Structure 1
Amino acid sequence: MLNRTILIGRLTRDGELRYTPAGVAVFTFTLAVDRPFTNNGQREADFIPIVTWRQLAETCANYLRKGRLTAIEGRIQVRNYDNSEGRRVYVTEVIADNVRFLESNRGEGGQDLGRQDQTGRENQDPFQEDGKPIDISDDLPF
């Protein structure tokens, strides 16, 4: 069985950072993702709730703002609860374990942020230097 999703969209508003009673960080935000078709010439979008946890949540809270183009990778989760009226409420959301900031954020400290995984470490893009010559100064065995 497989439950993986990849989404690219823009934040609809600034996200919300909270902490569980055990002190675990949780950052929630909504991602607007364009549909691949138009309806009478108008582009439609889906507004998808995203949840990140722990160090990734704190990193996202520091750098994600309304309108920022972002890619997320995660899994779809459906949970339910009974509201104050006694009715069952179902919530579908994406639990993100990888977040990529697709636009540079040079305005905050001059750093260009890349991909962050769930431990908060930056993953290096192996194709970042694509097309540039590679310096091979060692003798090759062939």
Structure 2
Amino acid sequence: MASLNEVRLIGNLGKDPEVREVGGTPNCTISVATTRFRKGENGREEVTQWHRVVLWGQLAEYAGRYLKKGAPVYVGGYLETRKWTDNDGQDHYTTEVVAEDLQGLGARRPAEG
């Protein structure tokens, strides 16, 4: 049986990207907000969903150089769930988008900083 794990998002950054190195490779985690509308008790309601997106290598460097909080972006990638254990032995899980494509949808200027 065939399977598919694909995510495409168009939204806005929730904060400035911060690039760091993990094992010598640039890494960056960004939050992307997407908004949709649904029918609610008082008519049409706006619903915002936040997505955690992980960027590696050149995509992380691009985000750090060209993107700022509020910037509109396109993200293409796949979902991945990670598990970790905290200091108390409690298991935790997080699901995030691992980006394979990232495009800024606004004007392309180096971020000041």
Q: Which TM class, normalised by the smaller chain length?
A: 0.7 to 0.9
- Structure 2: 5+ residue stretches without partners: none
- Whole-Å separation in 2 of the counterparts to 1:10 and 1:38: 23
Q: Which residue of 2 aligns with 1:24?
A: 25
The TM-score, its normalising length taken from structure 1, stands at 0.69
Q: Of the two, which has the highest radius of gyration?
A: 1
Which structure 2 residues correspond to residues 124-135 of structure 1 after superposition, within 5 A?
Answer: none
Shifted more, 90-99 versus 31-40: the winner is: 31-40
Contact 2:15 2:70 in 1 (8 A): yes
The total of aligned residue pairs comes to 107
Deviating runs (4+, > 4 A) in structure 1?
none
- Structure 1: 5+ residue stretches without partners: 110-142
Q: Which residue of 1 aligns with 2:10?
A: 8
Contact 1:76 1:93 in 2 (8 A): yes
Q: Structure with the greater relative contact order (CA < 8 A, sep ≥ 6): 1 or 2?
A: 2
Contact 2:37 2:45 in 1 (8 A): no
Contact 1:73 1:96 in 2 (8 A): yes
Give per-residue Cα distances to partners, 1:48-107, cap 9 Å, x unaligned.
00011011111111111100000100000000100122111101100001011111135x
- Whole-Å separation in 2 of the counterparts to 1:36 and 1:42: 5
- Whole-Å separation in 1 of the counterparts to 2:38 and 2:28: 30
Sequence identity, in percent? 32
Q: 1:37 to 1:18 in 2, by over 3 A?
A: same
The TM-score, its normalising length taken from structure 2, stands at 0.86
Q: Confirm or deny that 1:64 pairs with 2:67.
A: yes
